[in-house]
Amino acid sequence: MSKKIERIKENVTIKEYKKLMSFTKEHESLRDNSKLNLLRAFTILFYTGLRVNELQALRIGDIKELIKNRSVKVELDKTSTERKLYLSNDFEKALLELFDLNEDDENRVIAKGANKNKKSGIHPITFITHINKIMKESLGTGFTSHSFRQGLISEMGSKSVNVKIISKFIGHRDVKTTLGYIKPTDSDISQSLVR
């Protein structure tokens, strides 16, 4: 009897993020609005570690506030808590390439097609399925939308950021949850060898 080997969910690192962004920009069969939604999603997920449903709750006004104040508080439905998003220089540059800051504050960051109401979003399961499909096409199996969250947490862990800081940043109530996300890469392990 053969044992089923569980596939390890892979981390999205800067390498995978750049590959995914390039793949999406060059994907000829994607409509312009779908392409923009995916590029916005991949960027925000990469820099914040938000869950897709949390990302879908964001409005253009949140992005404007983030850029203006270098941080913004967002409500997390899953945990009924608030989380603060922070703006690094690289994140700001990426956002400015993807957002028209003259857009209505009430419009959703991830919105339906150009001819539809931008104040209403895309069904979460539909959007997660679309994200995961593009990720699989670009990066292969083992990557899902949650790979962004895991990748960010793992990268912060590999840089010896205090787990309490990571937990607060990512919006976990318990540091044990955060520790479960930290998945060192092969490079992290090989660079940490002491013998």
Q: Given pLDDT bands bounded at 50, 70 and 90, which one contains residue 3? A: low
Q: What does the pLDDT look like over 11-40, one tens digit per residue?
A: 999 999 999 999 999 999 999 999 999 999
When pLDDT is averaged across residues 121-125 and rounded to a whole number, the result is 86
Q: Could you give the domains of the chain?
A: 14-191 (1.10.443.10)
Query: pTM of the predicted model, to two decimals?
Result: 0.88
Quick one: CA dihedral 144, 148, 149, 152, positive or negative?
positive
Q: What is the pLDDT of residue 193?
A: 84
pLDDT in tens, 108-122: 999 886 555 676 778
Tokens at 67, concatenated:
């850029």
Say what the pLDDT of residue 5 is. Answer: 46
Query: What average pLDDT is seen over the chain?
Result: 89
- Dist CA 96 CA 43 (whole Å): 11
8 — pLDDT class (breaks 50, 70, 90): low
